[in-house]
Homo-oligomer: A and B are copies of this chain.
Amino acid sequence: MALIVQKYGGTSVGNTDRIQNVARRVAEHRGRGDQVVVVVSAMSGVTDGLIKLAKQITPLPSEREMDMLLATGEQQTIALAAIALHARGVPAVSLTGAQAGIVTDGVHTKAKIQNITPDEVHRLLDAGNVVIVAGFQGQTEEGQITTLGRGGSDLTAIAMAAALKADLCQIYTDVDGVYTSDPRLAPSARKLPEISYDEMLELAGSGAKVMQLRSVEFAKKFNVVFEVRSSLNDNPGTIVKEETTSMEDVVVRGVSIDKNQAEVTVEGVPDRPGSAARIFKSLADAAINVDMIVQNVSHDGGSRVTDISFTVDKPDLLKASSVIDGLMPELGIRGFATDEGIAKLSIVGVGMRSHSGVAARMFEILAEHGVNIGMISTSEIKVSVVIPLADGDRALKAVHEAFIG
């Protein structure tokens, strides 16, 4: 008898037909003798509808009250899912995040799980029930309702799997699993049977939209093996787990592109200690997320100056420009330029550690296709380059073909 945690996202529970479909799938697992914990999101559209109501009242509603409001979405789904299981003759009990023992810190709208006391979940499982837990939410020690922010339901599932020492955690979504690339851009892209946490993290961090980073980080930290698979069919998905030796045989696991970045180049920054720190601290204070950073030292006449380039999310570009503009007098910056017409192309694979020349090969492929490289940034298992947005799709296809086929 295995203990399985299954998570179903908003699309998978988007209406009562789909909720009944989830119940059918859960009932099948239970019919095999497994214990099943189901984590669900709000029905698709419900959360957006509630946000819209709040925004009708004021553009910046209180975060505590938004948690109070939004937590109702998942609470509705758990009740309906339990009702759908009952209708199939399967005993089931729904639990809010608080009832399931999920304790978070008090940072409303983006709370962190501090601990899970799954006594009630165990008790209900042992009594023969399917237990349905509201994703995305928890409660502080003081009894305040909190939500976990984007990707919160995945996090609930993975944290619950860790706390319950589950045998398997399945993340049901509207895609079949993790692909070597976006099949719409690289027609030969194929589903990966398995991928390491680190590769998944690098892919998620470089534009692949399967899961939020924090859930994968949590799974890696607590060594929770999980499977990403579709709720619309019975195809096996992609297993995400600690890397194995055999994984290193594959040099490039995936190729991703992020078209949502913009580039800022700060020119002629006097090469004094603390200049870069001042720039990126100011950006962080303005809640601007900086991705790639590249710095080159150059000589401008007699004094040493540097050019610093970095990328930010496109919607943050205006804010970033105004931050840099404000720093110019203080730091003695010569000027800065911005470019929205870029894309970040990345290759990811743990095999890079043991295979040399991977970055060089990527640059070569791009050169062969006449794609100009702007910034370059490498990690142990990733190479990212900034290229012109207009060349993005073509470059991704070429790199995918060369490395993966």
The residues of A with any CB-CB pair to B shorter than 8 Å are: 16, 19-20, 50, 53-54, 56-58, 61-62, 64-66, 68-69, 71-73, 75-76, 78-80, 82-84, 86-87, 93-94, 96, 99, 143, 145
Do B58 and A86 touch across chains, with their CB atoms under 8 A apart?
A: yes
Name A134's closest neighbour in chain B (CB-CB): B68
Q: A50-B76, A99-B143, A143-B99 are in contact. Are A86 and B62 (CB under 8 A)?
A: yes
Do A76 and B87 touch across chains, with their CB atoms under 8 A apart?
A: no
Do A65 and B79 touch across chains, with their CB atoms under 8 A apart?
A: yes
Do A65 and B94 touch across chains, with their CB atoms under 8 A apart?
A: yes
Residues from chain B with a CB closer than 8 A to the CB of A57 are 16, 19-20, 80, 83-84, 87
Q: A61-B86, A99-B143, A143-B99 are in contact. Are A72 and B76 (CB under 8 A)?
A: yes
Name A88's closest neighbour in chain B (CB-CB): B58
Residues from chain B with a CB closer than 8 A to the CB of A80 are 53-54, 57, 65, 69
Residues from chain B with a CB closer than 8 A to the CB of A50 are 76
Q: A16-B56, A53-B16, A99-B143 are in contact. Are A68 and B61 (CB under 8 A)?
A: no
Do A75 and B71 touch across chains, with their CB atoms under 8 A apart?
A: yes
Task: Give 8 closest A-B pairs by Cβ, nearest first.
Answer: A69-B79, A72-B72, A68-B79, A58-B87, A16-B56, A61-B83, A65-B79, A65-B82
CA distance A57 to B76 in the complex (A): 13
Q: A72-B72, A76-B72 are in contact. Are A65 and B53 (CB under 8 A)?
A: no
CA distance A213 to B131 in the complex (A): 38
Residues from chain B with a CB closer than 8 A to the CB of A84 are 57-58
Residues from chain B with a CB closer than 8 A to the CB of A87 are 57-58
Residues from chain B with a CB closer than 8 A to the CB of A56 are 16
Q: Which of B68, B83, B143, B145 contacts A58 (CB 8 A)?
A: B83
Residues from chain B with a CB closer than 8 A to the CB of A58 are 83-84, 86-87
Name A75's closest neighbour in chain B (CB-CB): B72
- With A50-B76, A53-B80, A69-B76 known, 10 other A-B pairs at CB within 8 A are A54-B80, A57-B83, A57-B84, A57-B87, A58-B87, A65-B80, A65-B86, A68-B82, A72-B72, A72-B75
